[in-house]
């Protein structure tokens, strides 16, 4: 793969430790994605971790892009880690957002049960963007942190 060769020659001997692929939009139904990431992981230097950003996970349909946990599990088996983007969900209330965050945190834990060498990062919305799916009064760092506090009680 030419992409892997270019990444290897550019990043293998640098301070960088990982490559994150961020393709948008992803629906979770892309039949080419898993084989593409598998081939890229096979050809990428072992010195570089391969990660991919995906939309948040949801068991129910939401306005914004989302994936099913099963799709994330399949993709995670082919890469070193996934990054769940916890924004642009289109939810209308803080409670809906809190529920989504809780679901994603639990899903991340479940995904990692089978392979502790893998990792899941959470992309927290800390920006001011007025897209039709991002409501910064709902999807924000404060509401994310408030959700974390409820998990510890």
Any residues with CB less than 8 A from the CB of 16 and at least 6 apart, and which?
Answer: 48
Q: CA–CA separation, 49 vs 75, rounded Å?
A: 14
pLDDT tens for 2-41 read 999 899 888 877 888 999 999 988 888 899 999 999 999 9
Q: Global pTM?
A: 0.90
Neighbouring C-alpha atoms within 13 Å toward the C-beta of 95: 0
Cα 90 from chain centroid (whole Å): 17
As a three-state string, the secondary structure of 88-102 is CCCCCCHHHHHHHHH
Answer whether 91's CB lies under 8 Å from 66's CB. no
pLDDT tens for 103-149 read 999 999 999 998 889 999 999 988 777 677 888 999 999 999 999 99
- DSSP code, position 78: T
């Amino acid at each position: 793969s030419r992409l892997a060769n270019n990444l290897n020659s550019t990043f293998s001997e640098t301070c960088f430790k990982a490559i994150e692929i961020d393709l948008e939009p992803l629906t979770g139904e892309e039949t080419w994605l898993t084989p593409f990431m598998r081939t890229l992981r096979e050809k990428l230097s072992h010195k570089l971790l391969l990660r991919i950003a995906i939309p948040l996970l949801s068991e129910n349909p939401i306005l914004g892009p989302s994936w099913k946990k099963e799709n994330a599990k399949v993709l995670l088996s082919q890469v070193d880690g996934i990054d769940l983007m916890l924004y642009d969900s289109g939810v209308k209330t803080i409670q809906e957002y809190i529920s989504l965050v809780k679901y994603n945190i639990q899903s991340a834990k479940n995904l990692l049960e089978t392979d502790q060498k893998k990792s899941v990062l959470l992309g927290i919305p800390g920006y001011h963007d007025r897209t039709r799916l991002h409501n910064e009064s709902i999807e924000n760092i404060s509401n994310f942190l408030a959700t974390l506090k409820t998990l510890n009680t």
